[in-house]
């Protein structure tokens, strides 16, 4: 396979004086119920080399786990409508700024936690402090993806939750791919990212976020939900 970057994304990125290749891997559109280990192994096994790090979008892991819901199937309670009106809308995306995504946050995290996060955020915003809502609500709320027009159908009209057991899945993938590579389940977009679960150390996770900081997989119709990081 010839390494080909996504449009506008360079194949090589320098981080802390070291050059790394980021090789996107194209797949079919992953659907609910698919075996994510089989899917990733099928597309990556002929590309990966010993010493590589395979990075997988958290979104396809969650979708395969059945954690993606059509917006029109989500009945938002009145509380979700009320709370969503107070979420600051930014260029980062919808977040919990629509009733349906807020409803899923209430289901995922529990009403007491979301109400507590909202109460604290309401107070600290008065003093110019931001981010307390998601800090208290936690990663399951922060990682909820709302529908966006530039996502591959049918997920452009769906709410996707964070995947379950990302670290365990990373180790399953490592074993399936031969064990001489590393694996990370990542949440990367055009505004930054983080590692949800991996087979590497915390320091390596931090480095990996830097390597992928410009979102080499893209956020539109690239259909490349996984890739490989390789020392250039």
In this predicted model, what pLDDT tens digit does every residue of 26-62 receive, in sequence order?
999 999 999 999 999 999 999 999 999 999 999 999 9
What pLDDT, in 10s, does the model give residues 91-109?
556 789 999 999 999 999 9
Please report the pLDDT score of residue 193 as a whole number.
Answer: 82
Arithmetic mean of pLDDT, 107-122: 95
In-domain check, residue 4: no
Tokens standing for residue 177: 């791919």
Residues 63 and 167 in one domain: yes
Whole-structure pTM value: 0.90
Please report the pLDDT score of residue 151 as a whole number.
Answer: 81
Residues 113 and 125 in one domain: yes
Question: Residue 28 is part of which domain span?
Answer: 12-67+162-231
- Residue after which a domain boundary falls, among 111, 144, 159: 159
Euclidean distance between CA atoms 156 and 139, whole angstroms: 22
Strand order in the sheet with 182-189: 12-15, 18-25, 226-231, 53-57, 182-189, 192-198
Question: How does residue 67 score in pLDDT terms, banded at 50, 70 and 90?
Answer: very high
- How many folded domains does the chain comprise? 2
């Amino acid at each position: 396979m010839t390494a080909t970057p996504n449009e506008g994304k360079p194949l090589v990125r320098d981080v802390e004086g070291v050059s790394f290749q980021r090789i996107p891997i194209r797949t079919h559109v992953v659907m609910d119920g698919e075996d994510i280990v089989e899917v990733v192994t099928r597309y990556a096994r002929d590309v990966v080399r010993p010493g590589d790090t395979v990075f997988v979008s958290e979104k396809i892991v969650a979708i395969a786990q059945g954690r993606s819901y059509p917006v029109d199937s989500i009945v938002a309670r009145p509380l979700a409508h009320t709370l969503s009106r107070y979420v600051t809308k930014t260029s980062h995306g919808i977040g919990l700024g629509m009733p349906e995504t807020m409803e899923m946050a209430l289901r995922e995290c529990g009403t007491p936690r979301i109400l507590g996060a909202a109460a604290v955020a309401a107070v600290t915003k008065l003093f110019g402090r931001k981010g307390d809502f998601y800090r208290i609500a936690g990663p399951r709320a922060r990682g909820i993806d709302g529908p966006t027009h530039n996502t591959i159908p049918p997920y452009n009209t769906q709410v996707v939750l964070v995947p379950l057991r990302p670290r365990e899945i990373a180790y399953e993938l490592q074993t399936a791919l031969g064990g001489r590579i590393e694996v990370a389940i990542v949440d990367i977009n055009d505004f930054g990212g983080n590692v949800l679960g991996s087979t590497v150390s915390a320091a390596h996770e931090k480095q990996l976020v830097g390597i992928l900081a410009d979102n080499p997989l893209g956020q539109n119709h690239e259909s490349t939900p996984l890739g490989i990081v390789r020392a250039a």
